[in-house]
């Protein structure tokens, strides 16, 4: 293997795939980046047990020559050192030459590096994903759907399937659901796909979706999604991102959403967020994060929290509308803040069935998002 | 105690003094901020065992009224909660009223807070510093001197005095020295003071100087320094910063600086930094950080490092000048990088007496800085 390549393009591609390289590999090869060089271009691949990322650098694009390939070949480089070193090389062009037993020579300007590479035959093979159906989602929509659901996924490995976000597709509607049993976030969107194409119980680890999200550029460029039996493939430009589908059956959450409400409030999202944020500061001192919400007369509500050591915070807020029965309810203020922070709508509707029933939060400007927080059972 | 005060000014002053409040106080009062209100203004004080910070907010400045005092008084507020809450209050004005047994009411907009305050009589008394002599140092010079020395102080509590920076004043010259026995940084500057004013063995904790540095605004406004028997007081505008002087006698470091050299190199600071940074990446894998420097012919030098698992990095650099005997030396690349990063001069002089003798590094554009790194004794 022998080539010279633009530092800029190589560095960009390496930074993208390196996220999939294991930082504490069980065997050294899993902490590596595979480099495959052909006369068409350079393919970089990294893979741990959960995700694999592959990026392709063509030898030239419309504007200029990116790589000059003298001799095709493959090698695996130790990721951590390789990623940092390529970024810090002095010249715009990098020469890479791999000889016998994967001894690599890297040259750039006055820098000369000998590296011990690894056998590409030992590198894990990428999952085969059969592309029968492809789902296309605009990048910014996919990023928003991820941001608006991942925070509700469980962080406990006790029920592994709950550490993921559930994806369902039916009638051209894609729906994301995440819950840790104390709260739930769901987000729906229309997508361009064959109307008969459907899938259910596709669960992708929340932390994988967060990594995916960072690789999606801003804007509405389409991300292609291919769902196979135990893998999902995301195609973002020349980047391929493979994720394992989590094992297990996701619980049916449809039953926990109340269908009728006794009290409904419309509130300014920003003002409620700020008021709860201040009450949270006090509730945090008690480790419980308990904040109380109470309806008052004249469309006013009161948000409060107290700490035996520190004191009490009381906030009064005017509701844009307040309908139904008077209410006193207590909830985890951290969960409420997490939810309010992902709602982009200026106003929200909060619906209650009673002090012991799930709290439903929705934006006022569209019907595609729904959040649930279970209340605390307190004595007063 | 009763007053209303501008949120902006109160918040700024609180953020400054809060750095001196103990984050894990042995007794609650040490984790507090003392508020003293008079008809002249509001004084905020925080203090742990090492440093104390005091800030004064006048009731009005040239431009506008900052505080309206109805009733003078004092109280101590728990720092962490108070700092965060004041920052998050909704209105531009904050009303504070303290009643019996230090029960405080804080009101801002629609927010109402009851806080349990503490008895100001129990708050530590600020050290008395007799102002016989005052040293004035421009803020940006003091910040530079701190930045250029603190990194060489020891982080080990084995010899507490070495965790500090030594300050000596003699003949109108102030000198900072820091060493951890493996490296040394020293910085000298002319200061405006009475020529007979002198002190020696004033050692201030490096971490205290880092905190002080953050409070000094950019620019050349003068910082006043008052050195007392066991305390130093820094006056930065309306801010007072007290630091304890570390116990113990600082070692005499003057003997370790060689007076004659066998090899002298002049190098581009940026290019050497980058070359050593790349060699460091490889040396880091071996945990030793060993990098080798070797003179070549034609004013060239070679910087290299190797790792048994990863390989070898070799860098060639042209010296602006190379005088004296050929040399091979090994050193801790992390120490060299720390030093090179604080040198603002475009070129540096590195002087050697031999492979086992201290390496001396100096900027070329002034004679006020001197850095020493002890070499590694290696077999090849």
In chain B, which residue's Cα lies nearest the Cα of A89?
A: B278
Residues 6+ apart with CB under 8 A from B323: B263, B264, B265
Whole-Å CA distances, B94 to A252, A303, A354, B113: 49, 19, 36, 11
Q: What is the phi/psi pair of residue B162, to 5°? A: -80, -10
Contact B312 A85 (CB under 8 A): no
- Please indicate, yes or no, whether residues B117 and B151 belong to a single structural domain of this protein: no
Half-sphere exposure for A372 (CA within 13 Å, toward CB): 22
* pLDDT score recorded for residue A379: 57
- Has residue B264 been placed in a domain? yes
Contact by Cβ (8 Å): A365, A375: no
Contact by Cβ (8 Å): A29, A122: yes
- Has residue A253 been placed in a domain? no
In chain A, which residue's Cα lies nearest the Cα of B90?
A: A274
Distance (Å, whole) CA B18 – CA B284: 37
pLDDT exceeds 60 at position B68: yes
* pLDDT score recorded for residue A239: 96
DSSP SS3 for B189: strand
- Please indicate, yes or no, whether residues B206 and B282 belong to a single structural domain of this protein: no
Structural domain ending residue among the three candidates B244, B267, B296: B244
Distance (Å, whole) CA A332 – CA A341: 15
DSSP SS3 for B333: helix
Contact A314 B282 (CB under 8 A): no
- Has residue A380 been placed in a domain? no
CB pairs under 8 A between A and B: 85
Whole-Å CA distances, A160 to A142, A153, B71: 23, 10, 60
Q: Which residue has the tokens 């650098």?
A: A57
DSSP SS3 for B67: strand
The number of residues making up chain B comes to 380
DSSP SS3 for B282: helix
* pLDDT score recorded for residue B141: 97
- Has residue B129 been placed in a domain? no
Contact A313 B112 (CB under 8 A): yes
Angle at A89 between CA A110 and CA B278, to 5 degrees: 85
* pLDDT score recorded for residue B379: 57
**pLDDT tens digits, residue range A25-69?**
888 899 999 999 999 999 999 998 789 999 999 999 888 999 999
Contact by Cβ (8 Å): A349, A359: no
Contact A90 B274 (CB under 8 A): yes
**pLDDT tens digits, residue range A72-84?**
999 999 999 999 9
Interface of A with B (CB under 8 A): 78, 81, 84-85, 88-90, 104, 110-116, 274-275, 277-278, 281-282, 285, 309-317
**Residue in A330, A322, A316 with CA at minimum distance from that of residue B90:** A316
**Residue in A110, A356, A173, A188 with CA at minimum distance from that of residue B303:** A110
The number of residues making up chain A comes to 380
Secondary structure, 3-state, chain A: CEEEEEHHHHHHHHHHHHCCCCCCCCCHHHHEEEEEECCCEEEEEEECCCEEEEEEEECECCCCECEEEEECEEEEEEHHHHHHHHHHCCCCEEEEEECHHHEEEEEECCEEEEEECECHHHCCCCCCCCCCCCEEEEHHHHHHHHHCCHHHCCCCCCCHHHHEEEEEEECCEEEEEEECCCEEEEEEEECECCCCCCEEEEEEEHHHHHHHHHHCCCCCCEEEEEECCCEEEEEECCEEEEEECCCCCCCCCHHHCCCCCCEEEEEEHHHHHHHHHHHHHHHHHCCCCEEEEEECCCCEEEEEEEECCCEEEEEEEECCEEEECCCEEEEEHHHHHHHHHHCCCCEEEEEECCCCCCEEEEECCCCCEEEEECCECCCC
Distance (Å, whole) CA B315 – CA A365: 60
Pairing of strands B111-116, A311-318: antiparallel
For residue B302, give how far its alpha carbon lies from the nearest alpha carbon of chain A (Å): 10
pLDDT exceeds 60 at position A93: yes
Containing structural domain, residue A116: 2-122
Contact B110 A275 (CB under 8 A): yes
Interface of B with A (CB under 8 A): 78, 81, 84-85, 88-90, 104, 110-116, 274-275, 277-278, 281-282, 285, 309-317
Distance (Å, whole) CA A18 – CA A211: 11
Q: How confident is residue B240, by pLDDT bands cut at 50, 70 and 90?
A: very high
pLDDT exceeds 90 at position B18: yes
Distance (Å, whole) CA A186 – CA A166: 9
**Residue in A326, A317, A374 with CA at minimum distance from that of residue A348:** A317
Contact A112 B314 (CB under 8 A): yes
Number of domains forming the structure of chain A: 3
* pLDDT score recorded for residue A285: 85
- Please indicate, yes or no, whether residues A112 and A211 belong to a single structural domain of this protein: no
Would you call A66 exposed, middle or buried from its count of C-beta atoms within 10 A (0-12, 13-18, 19+)? middle
- Please indicate, yes or no, whether residues B86 and B110 belong to a single structural domain of this protein: yes
- ipTM of the shown complex: 0.88
Distance (Å, whole) CA A298 – CA B244: 58
**Residue A286 vs residue B34, higher pLDDT:** B34
- Has residue B45 been placed in a domain? yes
In chain B, which residue's Cα lies nearest the Cα of A118?
A: B310
DSSP SS3 for B380: coil
pLDDT exceeds 90 at position B69: yes
- Please indicate, yes or no, whether residues A225 and A164 belong to a single structural domain of this protein: yes
- Has residue B40 been placed in a domain? yes
**Nearest CB to A114: which of B116, B311, B315?**
B311
In chain B, which residue's Cα lies nearest the Cα of A307?
A: B115
DSSP SS3 for B242: strand
Q: Which residues of A touch B281 (CB under 8 A)?
A: 81, 84-85, 88
**Residue in B263, B284, B258 with CA at minimum distance from that of residue B337:** B284
CATH number reported for the structural domain that contains residue A266 in this entry: 3.70.10.10
* pLDDT score recorded for residue A180: 96
**pLDDT tens digits, residue range A227-252?**
998 999 999 999 999 999 999 999 99
Q: Which residues of B touch A114 (CB under 8 A)?
A: 311-312, 314
Half-sphere exposure for A45 (CA within 13 Å, toward CB): 21
* pLDDT score recorded for residue B135: 93
- Has residue A251 been placed in a domain? no
Distance (Å, whole) CA B87 – CA A155: 31
Q: How confident is residue A195, by pLDDT bands cut at 50, 70 and 90?
A: confident
Residues 6+ apart with CB under 8 A from B307: B282, B283, B285, B286
Q: How confident is residue A259, by pLDDT bands cut at 50, 70 and 90?
A: confident
pLDDT, mean of residues B128-136: 85
Contact A281 B78 (CB under 8 A): no
**Sign of the C-alpha dihedral, residues B8, B12, B15, B21?**
negative
* pLDDT score recorded for residue B194: 86
What is chain A's Cα-based Rg? 26
Q: Partners of A106 in the beta sheet?
A: A96, A113
CATH number reported for the structural domain that contains residue B189 in this entry: 3.10.150.10
Distance (Å, whole) CA A339 – CA B31: 32
For residue A32, give how far its alpha carbon lies from the nearest alpha carbon of chain B (Å): 12
Q: Which residues of B touch A84 (CB under 8 A)?
A: 281
Distance (Å, whole) CA A233 – CA A215: 14
Half-sphere exposure for A198 (CA within 13 Å, toward CB): 6
Structural domain ending residue among the three candidates A78, A98, A122: A122
- Has residue B379 been placed in a domain? no
**Nearest CB to B281: which of A85, A277, A310?**
A85
Q: How confident is residue B27, by pLDDT bands cut at 50, 70 and 90?
A: confident
Half-sphere exposure for B56 (CA within 13 Å, toward CB): 15
Distance (Å, whole) CA A262 – CA A94: 68
Mutation target to probe the A interface, by most A beta carbons within 10 A, among B313, B317, B318, B337 is: B313
- Please indicate, yes or no, whether residues A110 and A75 belong to a single structural domain of this protein: yes
**Residue B162 vs residue A23, higher pLDDT:** B162
For residue B316, give how far its alpha carbon lies from the nearest alpha carbon of chain A (Å): 6
Tally Cβ neighbours within 10 Å of residue B364: 15
Contact B110 A84 (CB under 8 A): no
- Please indicate, yes or no, whether residues A98 and A155 belong to a single structural domain of this protein: no
Mutation target to probe the B interface, by most B beta carbons within 10 A, among A80, A110, A282, A317 is: A110
**pLDDT tens digits, residue range B82-96?**
999 999 999 999 999
Q: What is the phi/psi pair of residue A116, to 5°? A: -90, 105
Percentage, residues of chain B above pLDDT 70: 99
- Please indicate, yes or no, whether residues A183 and A75 belong to a single structural domain of this protein: no
Distance (Å, whole) CA A33 – CA A83: 9
Average pLDDT value for chain B? 94
Q: How confident is residue B59, by pLDDT bands cut at 50, 70 and 90?
A: very high
* pLDDT score recorded for residue A193: 86
Structural domain ending residue among the three candidates B100, B122, B144: B122
In chain B, which residue's Cα lies nearest the Cα of A315?
A: B111
Average pLDDT value for chain A? 94
**Residue in B323, B328, B327, B330 with CA at minimum distance from that of residue B305:** B330
- Please indicate, yes or no, whether residues A116 and A193 belong to a single structural domain of this protein: no
Residues 6+ apart with CB under 8 A from A27: none
pLDDT exceeds 80 at position B64: yes
For residue A26, give how far its alpha carbon lies from the nearest alpha carbon of chain B (Å): 16
What is chain B's Cα-based Rg? 26
pLDDT, mean of residues A298-322: 95
Q: How confident is residue A337, by pLDDT bands cut at 50, 70 and 90?
A: very high
pLDDT exceeds 90 at position B48: no
**pLDDT tens digits, residue range A105-132?**
999 999 999 999 999 999 999 888 887 8
Angle at B374 between CA B372 and CA B375, to 5 degrees: 130
Q: How confident is residue B286, by pLDDT bands cut at 50, 70 and 90?
A: confident
- Please indicate, yes or no, whether residues B292 and B322 belong to a single structural domain of this protein: yes
Distance (Å, whole) CA A362 – CA A370: 5
Whole-Å CA distances, B262 to B169, B292, B327: 32, 18, 9
Q: How confident is residue B294, by pLDDT bands cut at 50, 70 and 90?
A: very high
**Nearest CB to B317: which of A85, A89, A110?**
A110
- Please indicate, yes or no, whether residues B236 and B172 belong to a single structural domain of this protein: yes
DSSP structural state of residue B186: E
Q: Which residue has the tokens 């009589």?
A: B121
DSSP SS3 for B331: strand
- Please indicate, yes or no, whether residues A7 and A114 belong to a single structural domain of this protein: yes
Whole-Å CA distances, A365 to A178, A320, B254, B317: 22, 14, 73, 63
């Amino acid at each position: 293997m022998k080539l010279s390549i633009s530092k800029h393009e190589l560095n960009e591609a390496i930074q993208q795939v390196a996220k999939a390289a294991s930082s504490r590999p069980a065997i050294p090869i899993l902490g590596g980046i595979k480099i495959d060089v052909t006369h068409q271009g350079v393919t970089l691949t990294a893979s741990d047990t959960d995700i694999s990322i592959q990026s392709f650098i063509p030898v030239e694009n419309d504007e200029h020559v990116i790589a000059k390939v003298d001799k095709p070949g493959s090698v695996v480089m130790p990721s951590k050192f390789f990623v940092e070193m390529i970024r810090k090389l002095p010249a715009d062009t990098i020469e890479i030459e791999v000889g016998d037993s994967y001894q690599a020579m890297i040259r750039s300007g006055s820098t000369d590096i000998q590296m011990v590479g690894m056998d590409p035959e030992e590198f894990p093979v990428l999952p085969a994903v059969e592309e029968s159906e492809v789902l296309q989602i605009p990048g910014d929509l996919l990023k928003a759907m991820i941001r608006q659901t991942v925070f509700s996924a469980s962080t406990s490995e006790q029920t592994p399937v709950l550490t993921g976000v559930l994806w369902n597709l039916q009638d051209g509607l894609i729906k994301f659901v995440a819950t840790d049993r104390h709260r739930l976030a769901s987000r729906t969107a229309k997508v361009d796909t064959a109307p008969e194409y459907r899938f259910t119980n596709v669960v992708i680890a929340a932390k994988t979706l967060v990594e995916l999200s960072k690789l999606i550029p801003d804007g509405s460029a389409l991300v292609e999604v291919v769902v196979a039996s135990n893998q999902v493939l995301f195609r973002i430009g020349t980047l391929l991102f493979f994720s394992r589908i989590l094992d297990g059956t996701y619980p049916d959450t449809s039953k926990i959403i109340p269908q009728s409400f006794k009290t409904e409030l419309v509130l300014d999202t920003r003002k409620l967020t700020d008021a709860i944020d201040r009450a949270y500061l006090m509730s945090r001192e008690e480790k419980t994060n308990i904040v109380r919400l109470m309806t008052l007369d004249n469309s006013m509500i009161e948000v409060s929290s107290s700490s035996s050591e520190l004191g009490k915070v009381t906030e009064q807020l005017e509701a844009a509308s307040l309908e139904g029965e008077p209410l006193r309810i207590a909830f985890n203020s951290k969960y409420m803040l997490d939810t309010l922070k992902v709602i982009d709508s200026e106003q929200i509707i909060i619906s209650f069935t009673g002090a012991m029933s799930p709290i439903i939060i929705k934006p006022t400007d569209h019907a595609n998002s729904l959040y649930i927080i279970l209340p605390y059972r307190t004595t007063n």
